[in-house]
Amino acid sequence: MSISASEIAKLRAQTGAGMMDCKNALEESNGDFEKAIDWLRKRGAAKAAKRADKVASEGKVFTYLHGEGKIGVMLELNSETDFVAKNEAFLALGNDITMHIAAMNPKYLSSDEVSQEDMDREKEIYRAQLLAEGKPAEMIEKILEGKMGKFYSEVCLLNQAFIKDEDKTIEQLLTATSGSIGEKITLRRFARFELGEGIEKKVTDFVAEVNEQLA
C-alpha cells in the first residue's frame, strides 16, 4: 500500500526512529499507526538485545530542578561511547527521565532493589484485604502476584509508565532509544530530593519520645 510522507514524518516524530524504519513499519502494518509503533518497538528491542553484553561506562549525569528549586533530581544515564552521550536523542531521554522522576517520585530503580521489608509489608496488607473480601486461600497467592506487579509499577522507576506516553514503561523507553541509536543505554542510578522531606517525621518522632518519657 502507499504510505504518505506525512504519515512517515508523524511516526518518526513520535518514535525517533529513522525514516526508512518508519516507512517499513507502516508498510508491514498496512498503515495501522499503533501496530507500526509496536513493530518499531520490537525492532528496537532486537537491536538492543544484540548489545546486551556491551559495557556502557560513558554517558552523562543529568540534573533537574522543579518548583523554584523545591524538588531536585540527579540521574546517571550510561552509554557505550562519549559520542552517543552527546546525541540529541540521548540528551532528550535523560531530560525526560529526570522530569519523570520529579513528577512520579519512584522509590527504587527496579523491582530487584525493593527491600524484603517493603515486600513483606505490602504482601501482608494485600493478603489481609483479600481475606477480608472472602477470597479462597488457594487463590490468594496467585492474586498476590498481580498485586505486587502493580506495586512495582508504582514504586520502581523502570516499571513505571512514562508520563509522556503511558503505553511505555521507562524500561521500554530505554530499550527503544537504545535500538534507535544503536548503542546500549543503561540507567544506573538516580536520586530525588524534596525540600523539607523527612523533617516533619523527625519532629513527630522526637515529640513521641518525649511523651513516652513523661508518661
- Report the percentage of the chain scoring pLDDT > 90: 32
Q: Look at residue 57 in the predicted model and tell me its pLDDT.
A: 67
Looking at the chain, the domain(s) classified CATH 1.10.286 span 115-153
Q: Are strands 161-162 and 165-169 parallel, antiparallel or unpaired?
A: antiparallel
Average pLDDT on 162-170 reads 92
Higher-confidence residue of 207 and 41: namely 41
- CATH code linked to domain 115-153: 1.10.286
Q: Which CATH superfamily is domain 1-50 in?
A: Ubiquitin-associated (UBA) domain (1.10.8.10)
- Report the percentage of the chain scoring pLDDT > 70: 82
Contact 12, 22 (CB under 8 A): yes
Q: What are the phi and psi torsion angles at 186 (to 5°)?
A: -130, 145
Q: Look at residue 139 in the predicted model and tell me its pLDDT.
A: 86
- Tell me: the pLDDT tens digits for 53-79? 565 668 999 999 998 889 999 999 998
Q: What are the phi and psi torsion angles at 60 (to 5°)?
A: -155, 145
